[in-house]
Amino acid sequence: MTRAATAIVPDEGLMARRSPDESAEVVARIHPFVEVLVLERRGSWALVGFPDGGGRDLWVEAASLQAPATRDA
């Protein structure tokens, strides 16, 4: 099983949709700086979930996600 990539929601937050389509219903707003798991990509969209397994999987514009900061060991 492949491990999902992590990403960070940008400082303006993200509108999350029910399906990967600009006209799809907005079902949630993901707060800024939340870490999400990128579970799938479909075109310009990313299906994201949450590391703690809480909530439901949501579609967001993939280009808006930020790479997590790297930590020095």
Question: Is pLDDT at 53 greater than 90 in this prediction?
Answer: no
Phi-psi group of 63: left, alpha or beta (phi > 0 → left; psi -120 to 50 → alpha; rest → beta): alpha
Question: Is pLDDT at 6 greater than 80 in this prediction?
Answer: yes
Domains in the chain and their CATH numbers?
Answer: 5-64 (2.30.30.40)
Question: Is pLDDT at 14 greater than 50 in this prediction?
Answer: yes
Q: Residue 72: what pLDDT?
A: 54
Q: How confident is the model at residue 4 (pLDDT cuts 50, 70, 90)?
A: confident
Q: Residue 54: what pLDDT?
A: 79
> How far is Cα 58 from Cα 13, in angstroms, rounded to an integer?
13
What's the number of CA atoms in the CB half-sphere (13 Å) around residue 22? 2
- DSSP H helix total and E strand total for the chain: 0, 6
